C-alpha cells in the first residue's frame, strides 16, 4: 500500500501521451485553434468575439496559477524563438515573507542595515552559542553582496541605520521537544525612532524563527550597495499554527551522505519546518550502526554507505541548533528484509524474508537492543515504529511459525497485532510515545496504546475517525503530500487542509500537524533538493500560517517564486515553481522570479 501506491514514474516523452488531455492541454489547444482560425470563414465580429473569449480563458489560467506542461504564451511555436514574458504584476505592498506571519503591520520608510550589526542577547540568557552561531549564519545570507570596502563606507553614511539586533529571551530553557514554544515578536523601527531591531521570544527556538523572518525583510540595493529593510516600521507577532511540521527523508532506498542531510536540515529551517522524520532503514538497506548488534549494518548497500552512531548524534545536534527535531523510524514487522543480511535468523524463512519472525524471542531482543541504542542519540518525544504494509502470508509459509500460531490459537491478524503491540511496549518503556502508520489503527485500533500517534497516509478520510477515538494524528495524505509524486503541483500541496471535516476544537487539537514525504526510490543526492523544493514550502506555509492570511494561490504564487529564489541564493537547488513535473529544469530562459 504505502510502498506500492507511493511511487509514480518520472516523466518521459512516451508517458506524456498518457497525460495529454483537455485538462492539461487547454492552452496548447487554444493556441492551435487561433492559428486555424485564419482559414475559417467567419465574420470579423465573430472572430473578434471568439478571440476575446479564448484570450480571456488563457489569461485566467495564467492569473490563477494554472500549471501547464506545455510552453506558455511567451513562446512562439511558429518561430521557435523565446520571447521574454513579463512577470505577473502583484500589489506593490505585498508582504514578502514565507511562511506568512500570524500578524503584522508595516510602514513606508526604508532603513539601512549596518554590516557591522551587533547581537545583544538579554533576559533569560545573557549569551547563547546557538543564537550567536545562527546570527553569524544569517549575516552571511544577508550581506552576501557586501564587500569589505562597502562595510567601511556604510559606517560613514548619514542615512538612518540599524546598528544592533537585541534579542530578549523570556526563559533560559534550551530543551527542544514536541510543543516547544516557537512564538516571537519582531520590531523594526522607523528611520528616526531607534537604531535597534528588537526580537523577543520565550526561548532560543522562537528566536531562531524570528531571525529567519528578519533575514527575509532584508534586501540588497545594487545602486546604493547597501542592505535595506523596506516598509519600516515593522511590527510582527508570530507563532506556528501546528506544533508538528515535518519532512520525511528516506536513506534506505538511496543513501544520503551526512552533508546532504545537513543541507536538507538547513533548507527546512528557512521554511520553518521543525521535524525531520528520518526513515533510516527498510527492505533495501540497513545503513545505520547498531552497537548492540554490530552485524546489523551488513545490510547496507556497501561499506561506504553507512552511518555511525556518532554521525546520527551529530545530525541530531546539528538539527537542534536550527530548531529541528529528528524523529527516527524503525519500520517493523514489514519493510525489514535487510535486517536478515547480518542476522538471518530474523527471517521467517530463507525464501520468505519479511515480516520479521513473530514467533522468535530473538526478534524482540534485537528490536529492544536497537531501540535502546537509538534512545542514546534520539531525544525527541516521538519514535516512529512503522507497522504498515504487512503481508502476513509469509508467516504461513514457515512451518515453525504455523506451529507457534496453532499452539496459541492465533490467526495471522492476531499475530500482526501481537507484534505491533509488543514493539509499542518496548518503546514506551524507553520513554517514547509510539508513532505508527495508519494500518495498525485500521486493523486493531482499539488495542493500541492510548498515547499512540497515528500517521495518516493512505486513507484520505481517516483523520476524523482517528481523532474521534482520542488518538493524536499526523497528516501525510499521499495523493497531495508525497513529494515523489512528481505530477502533484505546488497548488495541491498548498491547499491541503489538515483539519478538513473536523468541526470540534477538541478534535482539531489532536491533529499535531502534518508532514511531506520524500520517499527515496527515485531521489538521491543529485536531485533530492529539486524534488523537495519548492513544493515542501507550500505545505510549510499551510502548517505555519493561519488560513485567514494564507488562503490564496494567486497571492501565494509570486511569494513562492521569490522564496524559491531565496533558496537559490542560499545554495539550495530548488526546482521551478510552475513546472508540470517536479524537479525538471526551467522551460526556457527567464528570471528566477517568474518560473
- Give a three-class secondary structure readout of 464-498: HHHHHCCCEEEECCHHHHECCCCCCCHHHHHHCCC
Higher pLDDT pick, 3 / 53: 53
Residue 595 within a domain: no
Nearest C-alpha neighbor of 281 from the set 259, 263, 305 = 305
Residue 16 within a domain: no
Distance CA(221)–CA(342), nearest Å, equals: 59
pLDDT at 426 over 90: yes
Domain count, the chain: 3
Mean pLDDT of 404-412: 97
Instruction: Give the strand pairing for 382-386 and 218-221.
Output: unpaired
Residue 572 within a domain: no
Report the share of the chain in percent with pLDDT over 70.
Answer: 82
Q: What's the confidence (pLDDT) of residue 5?
A: 39
Distance CA(488)–CA(580), nearest Å, equals: 8
Q: Are residues 214 and 250 in the same domain?
A: no
Q: Are residues 341 and 486 in the same domain?
A: yes
Query: Within 10 Å of residue 334's Cβ, how many Cβ atoms?
Result: 24
Report the share of the chain in percent with pLDDT over 90.
Answer: 78
- 520-548 pLDDT tens trace: 999 999 999 999 999 999 999 999 999 99
Q: Is 429:44 a contact under the CB 8 Å cutoff?
A: no
Q: What's the confidence (pLDDT) of residue 335?
A: 97
pLDDT at 36 over 50: no
Q: Sign of dihedral through CA atoms 225, 105, 534, 245? A: positive
Split at pLDDT 50, 70, 90, the class of 56 is: low
Instruction: Give the strand pairing for 472-475 and 511-518.
Output: parallel
Nearest C-alpha neighbor of 469 from the set 484, 449, 487 = 449
Query: Could you give the residue numbers annotated as active site?
Result: 389
Q: What's the confidence (pLDDT) of residue 350?
A: 87
Split at pLDDT 50, 70, 90, the class of 315 is: very high
Mean pLDDT of 281-297: 98
Split at pLDDT 50, 70, 90, the class of 399 is: very high
Mean pLDDT of 441-456: 98
Q: Are residues 352 and 297 in the same domain?
A: yes
Q: Are residues 445 and 400 in the same domain?
A: yes
Mean pLDDT of 436-446: 97
Q: Please report, for residues 422, 434, 481, 523, the alpha-carbon distance to residue 471 in angstroms, rounded to integers and kept in the order given.
A: 19, 11, 21, 33
- 119-151 pLDDT tens trace: 999 999 888 999 999 999 999 999 999 765 555
Q: What's the confidence (pLDDT) of residue 493?
A: 97
Q: What's the confidence (pLDDT) of residue 76?
A: 31
Split at pLDDT 50, 70, 90, the class of 255 is: very high
Q: What's the confidence (pLDDT) of residue 547?
A: 94
Higher pLDDT pick, 111 / 5: 111
Q: Is 488:480 a contact under the CB 8 Å cutoff?
A: yes
Angle at which helices 204-217 and 258-270 cross, to 10°: 70
Distance CA(329)–CA(278), nearest Å, equals: 6
Q: ω into residue 47 within 30 of 0, thus cis?
A: no
Angle at which helices 553-569 and 258-270 cross, to 10°: 140
Q: Are residues 175 and 277 in the same domain?
A: no
**What is the phi/psi pair of residue 391, to 5°?**
-95, 95
Mean pLDDT of 545-566: 95
Where are the alpha helices (H) located in 271-408, listed in sequence order?
Answer: 309-320, 339-342, 361-375, 393-396, 399-408
Distance CA(457)–CA(480), nearest Å, equals: 10
Residue 88 within a domain: no
The C-alpha cell at 255 is 543513501
pLDDT at 229 over 50: yes
pLDDT at 64 over 70: no
Q: What's the confidence (pLDDT) of residue 91?
A: 52
Q: Is 437:457 a contact under the CB 8 Å cutoff?
A: yes
User: Can you say how many angstroms the Cα of residue 245 is from the centroid of all Cα atoms in its chain?
Assistant: 7
pLDDT at 9 over 50: no
Residue 558 within a domain: no
CATH label of the domain that carries residue 161: 3.30.379.10
Q: What's the confidence (pLDDT) of residue 160?
A: 80
pLDDT at 48 over 70: no
Q: Are residues 233 and 248 in the same domain?
A: no
Q: In terms of C-beta density within 10 A (0-12 exposed, 13-18 middle, 19 or more buried), how is residue 475 classed?
A: buried
Higher pLDDT pick, 89 / 455: 455
Rounded to 5°, angle at Cα 246 from 64 and 516: 45
Length of the chain: 595
Q: What's the confidence (pLDDT) of residue 51?
A: 59
Judged by average pLDDT, the poorest of 204-213, 291-300, 349-358 is 349-358
Last residue of one domain, picked from the residues 238, 262, 284: 238
Q: Are residues 384 and 496 in the same domain?
A: yes
Q: What's the confidence (pLDDT) of residue 55?
A: 58
Instruction: Give the strand pairing for 453-456 and 472-475.
Output: parallel
Q: ω into residue 271 within 30 of 0, thus cis?
A: no
Q: Are residues 392 and 537 in the same domain?
A: yes
DSSP annotation of 304 reads T
Which residue reads 474521534 in cell numbers?
Answer: 468
Q: Are residues 184 and 206 in the same domain?
A: yes
Residue 593 within a domain: no
Residue 15 within a domain: no
pLDDT at 572 over 90: yes
Last residue of one domain, picked from the residues 238, 263, 297: 238
Last residue of one domain, picked from the residues 207, 238, 269: 238
Q: Are residues 177 and 323 in the same domain?
A: no
Domain that holds residue 298: 244-549
Nearest C-alpha neighbor of 183 from the set 206, 167, 199 = 206
pTM of the model: 0.86
Instruction: Give the strand pairing for 453-456 and 511-518.
Output: unpaired
Which residue reads 530543551 in cell numbers?
Answer: 175
Residue 89 within a domain: no
Q: Are residues 443 and 511 in the same domain?
A: yes
CATH label of the domain that carries residue 377: 3.20.20.80
pLDDT at 252 over 50: yes
Q: Are residues 248 and 232 in the same domain?
A: no
Q: What's the confidence (pLDDT) of residue 146?
A: 75
Nearest C-alpha neighbor of 308 from the set 320, 296, 324 = 296
The C-alpha cell at 10 is 518520472
Amino acid at each position: 500500500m504505502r510502498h506500492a501506491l507511493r511511487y509514480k514514474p518520472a516523466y518521459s516523452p512516451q508517458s506524456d501521451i498518457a497525460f495529454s488531455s483537455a485538462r492539461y492541454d487547454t492552452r496548447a489547444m487554444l493556441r492551435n485553434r487561433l492559428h486555424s482560425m485564419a482559414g475559417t470563414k467567419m465574420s470579423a465580429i465573430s472572430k473578434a468575439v471568439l478571440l476575446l473569449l479564448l484570450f480571456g480563458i488563457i489569461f485566467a489560467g495564467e492569473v490563477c496559477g494554472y500549471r501547464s506542461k506545455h510552453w506558455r504564451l511567451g513562446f512562439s511555436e511558429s518561430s521557435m524563438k523565446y520571447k521574454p514574458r513579463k512577470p505577473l504584476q502583484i500589489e506593490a505592498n505585498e508582504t514578502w515573507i514565507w511562511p506568512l506571519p500570524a500578524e503584522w503591520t508595516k510602514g513606508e520608510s526604508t532603513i539601512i542595515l549596518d554590516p557591522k550589526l551587533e547581537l545583544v542577547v538579554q533576559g533569560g540568557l545573557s549569551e547563547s552559542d546557538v543564537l550567536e552561531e545562527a546570527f553569524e549564519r544569517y549575516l552571511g545570507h544577508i550581506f552576501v553582496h557586501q564587500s569589505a570596502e562597502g562595510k567601511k563606507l556604510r559606517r560613514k553614511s548619514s542615512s538612518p541605520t540599524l546598528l544592533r539586533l537585541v534579542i530578549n529571551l523570556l526563559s533560559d530553557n534550551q530543551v527542544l521537544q514536541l510543543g516547544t514554544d516557537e512564538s516571537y515578536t519582531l520590531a523594526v523601527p522607523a528611520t528616526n525612532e531607534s537604531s535597534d531591531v528588537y526580537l523577543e521570544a520565550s526561548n532560543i527556538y522562537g528566536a531562531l524563527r524570528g531571525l529567519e523572518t528578519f533575514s527575509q525583510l532584508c534586501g540588497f540595493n545594487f545602486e546604493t550597495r547597501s542592505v535595506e529593510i523596506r516598509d519600516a516600521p515593522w511590527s510582527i507577532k508570530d507563532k506556528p499554527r501546528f506544533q508538528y511540521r515535518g519532512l520525511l527523508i528516506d536513506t534506505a532506498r538511496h543513501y544520503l551522505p551526512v552533508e546532504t542531510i545537513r543541507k536538507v536540515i538547513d533548507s527546512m529551517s528557512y521554511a520553518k519546518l521543525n521535524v525531520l522524520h528520518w526513515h533510516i532503514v527498510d527492505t533495501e538497506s540497513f545503513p545505520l550502526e547498531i552497537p548492540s548488534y554490530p552485524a546489523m549494518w551488513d545490510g547496507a548497500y556497501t561499506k561506504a554507505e553507512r552511518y555511525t552512531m556518532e554521525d546520527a548524534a551529530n545530525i541530531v545536534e546539528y538539527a537542534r541548533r536550527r530548531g529541528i527535531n529528528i524523529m527516527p523510524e524503525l519500520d517493523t514487522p514489514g519493510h525489514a528484509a535487510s535486517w536478515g543480511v547480518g542476522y538471518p535468523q530474523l527471517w521467517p524463512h530463507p525464501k520468505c524474508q519479511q515480516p520479521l519472525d513473530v514467533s522468535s524471542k530473538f526478534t524482540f531482543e534485537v528490536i529492544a537492543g536497537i531501540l535502546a541504542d537509538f534512545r542514546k542519540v534520539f531525544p525527541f518525544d516521538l519514535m516512529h515504529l512503522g507497522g504498515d504494509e504487512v503481508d502476513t502470508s509469509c508467516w504461513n509459509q514457515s512451518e515453525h511459525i504455523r506451529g507457534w500460531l496453532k499452539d496459541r490459537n492465533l490467526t495471522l491478524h492476531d499475530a500482526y497485532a501481537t507484534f505491533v503491540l509488543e514493539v509499542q511496549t518496548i518503546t514506551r518503556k524507553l520513554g517514547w510515545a509510539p508513532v505508527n502508520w495508519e494500518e495498525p489503527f485500521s486493523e486493531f485500533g482499539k488495542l493500541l496504546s492510548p498515547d499512540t500517534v497515528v500517521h495518516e497516509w493512505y486513507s484520505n478520510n481517516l483523520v476524523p475517525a482517528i481523532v474521534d477515538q482520542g488518538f493524536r494524528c499526523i497528516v501525510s495524505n499521499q495523493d497531495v503530500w508525497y513529494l515523489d509524486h512528481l505530477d502533484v503541483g505546488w497548488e495541491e500541496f498548498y491547499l491541503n487542509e489538515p483539519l478538513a471535516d473536523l468541526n470540534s476544537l477538541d478534535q482539531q487539537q489532536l491533529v499535531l500537524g502534518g508532514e511531506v514525504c520524500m520517499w527515496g526510490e527515485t531521489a538521491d543526492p543529485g536531485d533530492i533538493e529539486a524534488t523537495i523544493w519548492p513544493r515542501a514550502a507550500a505545505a510549510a506555509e499551510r502548517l505555519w500560517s493561519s488560513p485567514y492570511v494564507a488562503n490564496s494561490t494567486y497571492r501565494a504564487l509570486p511569494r513562492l517564486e521569490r522564496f524559491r529564489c531565496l533558496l537559490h541564493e542560499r545554495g539550495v537547488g530548488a526546482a521551478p515553481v510552475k513546472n508540470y513535473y517536479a524537479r525538471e529544469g526551467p522551460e526556457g530562459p527567464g528570471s528566477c522570479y517568474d518560473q
